[in-house]
Amino acid sequence: MANSKIEIVVACGSGVATSTIAADAVKDLLKELGIQNYNLVKTSMTELPNIIDSADVILTTNNYKTDKKPCFNVMSFITGINEESLKSELADIFLKLNN
């Protein structure tokens, strides 16, 4: 796992708007954590099932749930509510995946 990139998928309804804002926040967080070895893909909720297998972690603004992969609701990056607790949850999983 050491040399494989963390595959992060960020999805929202359209795959354009809120996912981009969330994706930017995620990139900032990864930078803070000093993690560079990742691949971040933005997508729409409709496309999400097609790329789920290649993802290590799935972040959505729509409260998407699957048993296959770790999922997080990243709405806090949009509304600013509970953003700090979301950041620490994500930091935990990113650091785990980075090891």
Partner 1 sequence: MLKQYIYDDLVFWDKEYKDYEDLLSHIMETLVSKNYVEKEFEEALIIREKEFPTGLQLDGYAVAIPHGGSQYVKKDFVSVVTLRNPIFMNRMDNPEESLEIDILFILGFGKSETHLQVLKELMGLIQNPKVIEELKKGTLIL
Q: Which residue number, 59 or 97, has a Cβ lying nearer to partner 1?
A: 59
The two tokens of residue 93 are 């999983």
Closest alpha carbon to 19 in 83, 62, 67, 52: 62
Residues that bind partner 1 (CB under 8 A): 12-14, 16-18, 20-21, 24, 45, 61-63, 73, 75, 78-81
Closest among 71, 98, 96, 72 to 86, alpha carbons compared: 72
Is 71 one of the annotated active-site residues of the chain?
no
Among 12, 55, 86, 90, the one annotated catalytic: 12
As measured in angstroms, the least distance from the Cβ of 54 to partner 1 is 23
What residues are annotated to the active site? 12
